[in-house]
Amino acid sequence: MKTNVFKLIFAVLLSSVFAAQTWAEVAVIVHPSIADSASKKDISRIFLGKSKSLPGGQKVTPVSLAEGNSARDEFNDKVLSKSNSQLKSYWSKLVFTGKGQPPKELGSDADVVAAVSAEPGVIGYVSSASVTDGVKVLATF
């Protein structure tokens, strides 16, 4: 009887951890010195290579998380409205025609936070739980 109760409690706790990861917010981050704000459309245009600056004129360079990261999947879905395969196709076409290059990919949230905090012209996104005092949150999705 005790083992069944233990198994039930363990299953509930485990499922709540996965549910929390599924519903985690994504934070778009910039260097604290950037005073601009940006809409979802502005951010999408930057990460799709259609714009190189924030609405206030601050030039930015986007960095992305590596494929397979849950925050990347969330960002692609909520902000870019594209699946990973759609995004690959989009960038393949731009690279082939010489009209653009995809954002540099970094391996982890910590790498993105480090890049953004070190360079005022970098914009990135991470899981909101990974945000530190060294960066400014531009938007959450």
Strand pairing partners for 127?
Answer: 26
For 1-141, list the strands marked E by DSSP.
26-30, 61-65, 104-106, 122-127, 136-140
d(CA 109, CA 123): 13
- Is a pLDDT exceeding 70 seen at residue 19? no
Query: For residue 50, what pLDDT is reported?
Result: 98
Residue of 88 and 37 predicted with greater confidence:
88
Going from the N-terminus, what domains does the chain have, and what CATH number goes with each? Answer: 25-140 (3.40.190.10)
Mean of pLDDT values over 23-47: 93
Among 7-16, 33-42, 45-54, the range scoring the smallest mean pLDDT is 7-16
Mean of pLDDT values over 12-37: 71
Query: For residue 36, what pLDDT is reported?
Result: 79
Query: For residue 18, what pLDDT is reported?
Result: 46
- Per the prediction, the chain carries an average pLDDT of 89
Q: What is the pLDDT of residues 66-124, one digit of tens each?
A: 999 999 999 999 999 999 999 999 999 999 999 999 999 999 999 999 999 999 999 99
Mean of pLDDT values over 19-34: 80
User: Which strand ranges, in their side-by-side order, compose the sheet holding 122-127?
Assistant: 104-106, 61-65, 122-127, 26-30, 136-140
Strand pairing partners for 27?
Answer: 126, 140
